[in-house]
């Protein structure tokens, strides 16, 4: 059973108190968790570190430090134009064994709206690219995985917007998608851009499918993590361990977000896709063959310009809040 989430001020105070005890070396898997499936989420900030240097190799080394079985990346592609990918995926596969979930499009992008899912062992049963509503181009990947041991897991990898109203719409869209699918163990991984906790949080919209949310861990900004923008959330809390931040010297520099990670228990009997399909009297239609709710098109012209200005102002407010908390001036971190 998950612990009760702390208040935002308490979370920030705890981060400040423990800033001097941050580890100086990577932490590996513990012996008792070595048989679990390690999942992670990481906003790689377009491979630009807090030192302003574009360094995809540094991001790859952080991913190797984590050693995940499944990882969701955000901002792994350029934001505009062809959105081509920024990582050397063949080299990453050679060094870590991780391969991207195939999307079957001709784009030069690694993923969908900057979202990439990589996995180590298993088989992809289905994948669907979802455009999320809101005033910014945001998206999600819905991936059905058969893990190496035969367990089935649905991964929803997403990057929510900067505006609270957009985040609430995006959360509701994911709930609609989950309610239109067959019920199975599901993980939501990603940068959800929500630092508020409790009733004021836009993530309360996830309640119908994800129920009690796990205790958030601060992951932003990476130099002194105060805000829990990144989340790993399960629709069945019993399958997920406590979420931890991957806090190492390299991770503090490589991106303005720290990665987060948790273990999934693959031994639960109700994770078997074959048993679930037989109980329904047959296999469900693949996800890609069933319609998903589609968002309204983004406004153009003068209305679109006003929306873009609102998004920029929301980002600026977040940066000012972080700077006030840190009690300093200077170039603010980016989300």
Higher pLDDT, 118 or 134: 118
The 8-class DSSP code of residue 208 comes to H
The confidence score (pLDDT) of residue 196 equals 86
Give me the percent of the chain exceeding a pLDDT of 70. 66
Confidence of residue 136 (pLDDT cuts 50, 70, 90): confident
Cα dist. 252→41, 192, 238 in Å?
15, 20, 30
Higher pLDDT, 275 or 36: 36
Q: Is the pLDDT of residue 89 over 90?
A: yes
Distance CA 47, CA 59 (A): 6
Q: 190, 142, 187, 141: which is closest to 167 by C-alpha?
A: 190
Within-domain flag for 28: no
In angstroms and rounded to an integer, the radius of gyration of the C-alpha atoms of the chain is 19
Per DSSP (E only), the strands in the chain are: 37-43, 70-74, 99-100, 116-119, 122-132, 138-147, 152-159, 186-191, 230-234, 244-245, 260-264
Distance CA 155, CA 140 (A): 10
Mean pLDDT for the stretch of residues 63-88? 88
Under 8 Å between Cβ of 39 and 63: no
The confidence score (pLDDT) of residue 149 equals 73
Domain limits for position 39: 35-298
How is residue 128 written in tokens? 């669907």
pLDDT tens digits, 239-265: 999 999 999 999 999 999 999 999 998
Within-domain flag for 23: no
How is residue 192 written in tokens? 């959800």
Within-domain flag for 94: yes
Those residues whose C-beta lies under 8 Å from the C-beta of residue 269, and which sit 6 or more positions away, are: 275
Under 8 Å between Cβ of 326 and 222: no
CATH value at residue 116? 3.60.10.10
Any idea which of 4-18, 67-81, 113-127 has the lowest mean pLDDT? 4-18
Q: Which residues of 270-279 are buried (b: 16+ CB within 10 A; e: fewer)?
A: ebbbeebeee
How is residue 6 written in tokens? 């702390």
The confidence score (pLDDT) of residue 272 equals 47
Q: What angle do CA 332, 131, 99 make, to 5 degrees?
A: 80
Q: Which residues of 70-102 are buried (b: 16+ CB within 10 A; e: fewer)?
A: bbbbbbbbeeeeebebbbebeebeeebebbbbe
The enclosing H or E element of 32 equals none
Distance CA 272, CA 71 (A): 21
Within-domain flag for 2: no
Any idea which of 78-82, 162-166, 279-283, 300-304 has the lowest mean pLDDT? 279-283
* Parallel, antiparallel or unpaired: strands 116-119 and 260-264: unpaired
Distance CA 121, CA 328 (A): 45
Within-domain flag for 24: no
Distance CA 234, CA 209 (A): 9
Higher pLDDT, 294 or 56: 56
Higher pLDDT, 158 or 313: 158
Within-domain flag for 188: yes
Within-domain flag for 1: no
Under 8 Å between Cβ of 21 and 225: no
Confidence of residue 286 (pLDDT cuts 50, 70, 90): very low
Under 8 Å between Cβ of 231 and 19: no
Higher pLDDT, 325 or 202: 202
pLDDT tens digits, 7-47: 555 655 565 555 555 666 555 554 344 458 999 999 999 99
The confidence score (pLDDT) of residue 52 equals 97
Concatenating the DSSP letter of every residue in 319-331 gives: HHHHHHHHT--SS
Span between the terminal Cα atoms of the chain, in Å? 31
Within-domain flag for 193: yes
The confidence score (pLDDT) of residue 267 equals 55
The confidence score (pLDDT) of residue 278 equals 41
The confidence score (pLDDT) of residue 43 equals 98
Handedness of CA 304, 171, 62, 333 (dihedral sign): positive
Higher pLDDT, 247 or 184: 247
User: How many distinct structural domains can be found in the chain?
Assistant: 1
């Amino acid at each position: 059973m998950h612990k009760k989430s702390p208040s935002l001020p308490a979370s920030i105070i705890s981060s400040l108190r423990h800033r001097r005890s941050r580890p100086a070396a990577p932490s590996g898997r513990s012996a008792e968790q070595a048989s679990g499936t390690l999942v992670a989420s990481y906003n790689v900030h377009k491979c630009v570190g807090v030192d302003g240097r574009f360094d995809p190799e540094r991001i790859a080394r952080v991913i190797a430090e984590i050693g995940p079985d499944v990882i969701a990346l955000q901002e792994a592609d350029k934001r505009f134009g062809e959105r081509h990918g920024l990582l050397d995926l063949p080299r990453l596969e050679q060094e870590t064994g991780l391969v991207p979930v195939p999307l079957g499009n001709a784009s030069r992008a690694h993923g969908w709206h900057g979202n990439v899912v990589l996995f180590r062992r298993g088989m992809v049963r289905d994948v669907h690219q979802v455009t999320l509503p809101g005033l910014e181009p945001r998206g999600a990947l819905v991936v059905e995985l058969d893990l190496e041991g035969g367990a089935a897991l649905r991964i929803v990898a997403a990057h929510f917007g900067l505006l609270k109203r957009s985040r609430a719409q995006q959360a509701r869209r994911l709930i609609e998608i989950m309610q239109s699918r067959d019920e199975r163990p599901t993980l939501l991984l990603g940068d959800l851009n929500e630092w508020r906790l409790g009733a004021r949080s836009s993530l309360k919209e996830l309640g119908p499918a994800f129920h009690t949310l796990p205790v958030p861990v601060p992951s932003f900004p990476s130099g002194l993590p105060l805000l829990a923008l990144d989340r790993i959330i399960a629709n069945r809390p019993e399958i997920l361990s406590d979420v931890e931040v991957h806090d190492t010297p390299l991770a503090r520099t490589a991106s303005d977000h720290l990665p987060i990670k948790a273990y999934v228990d693959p031994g639960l009997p109700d994770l078997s896709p074959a048993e679930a399909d037989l109980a329904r009297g047959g296999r469900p239609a693949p996800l890609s063959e069933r319609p998903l709710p589609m968002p309204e098109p983004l406004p153009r012209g003068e209305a679109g310009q006003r929306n873009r200005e609102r998004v920029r102002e929301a980002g600026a407010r977040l940066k000012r809040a972080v700077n006030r908390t840190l009690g300093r001036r200077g170039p603010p971190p980016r989300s």
